[in-house]
Amino acid sequence: MTPHADFPRFFDVLKNNPALFTRRQEQVFRQGLSLRMSLPYRFTGVGSVITGGRWSVRGLMPTVYASTDLKTLFAEANYKARRYGWRPAQFQPQLTIQMHWELHKVLDLTNAITLRALKVTKKVIVNSDWFAEQAADREPVTQAIARAAFENLAEGLIVPSARRKGGINLVYYPTHRRDGTVIQTLDEANIPFLHGLS
């Protein structure tokens, strides 16, 4: 993949401005197939490694995505289904779980100060066609920002939803988990356990 031209600048801005990173506590929601939500597989981020994502470089960055409210979660899921051209018969039951996250080093891309420092706008972020750029073997701007944060050892990102106006998503990089970080699933006793290859 061809790196984005602005990646070196993004990296240097984050390296030289550690105050841009902050802490975040949030109740979040995730949705997926029951196997992927089962405890042994929930935080691997393997799906993003295989497919890439708006905030994760394919083959490089294990990433776990979540939304801060159910409307945003469902808007993101519905868009993904349409993007892959799923027909109603292809839909499988999805499991939605609620979690409590406490992260220690996150980059807040909903914050105007952060956006100014990076010289990007919210419009650029939400309108980036990362899927087409990745398919053309070019690093999209969102992945370049994410990679710059990742290489500066961020635990994650706070990002505006591209699918619901006013919606907020959280992005977590499990390889960068810090001491004291809390990733707690609520109502764990009622989440089914499934064996891999079940």
User: What's the pLDDT at 150?
Assistant: 98
66 forms beta bridges with 170
Q: Tokens representing 142?
A: 């969102």
Q: Over 80: is that where the pLDDT of 125 sits?
A: yes
Q: Tokens representing 98?
A: 């609620």
Rama region for 153: left / alpha / beta (φ>0; ψ in -120 to 50; rest):
left
Q: What is the DSSP string of 109-149?
A: TT-HHHHHHHT--HHHHHH--HHHHHHTTB--HHHHHHHHH
- 24-38, 79-93, 108-122, 138-152: least confident range: 79-93
Bridge-based pairing state of the strands 182-185 and 64-67: unpaired
* % of the chain surpassing 90 pLDDT: 80
Q: Provide the strand spans (E) within 57-120.
A: 64-67, 95-108
pLDDT mean over 77-104: 79
User: What's the pLDDT at 94?
Assistant: 81
- Average pLDDT of the chain is 93
* pTM metric for this prediction: 0.93
pLDDT tens per residue across span 30-87: 988 888 899 889 999 998 999 999 999 999 999 999 999 999 999 998 777 666 677 6
CA angle 50, 138, 65 (to 5 degrees): 40
pLDDT mean over 13-37: 94
pLDDT tens per residue across span 145-171: 999 999 999 999 999 999 999 999 999
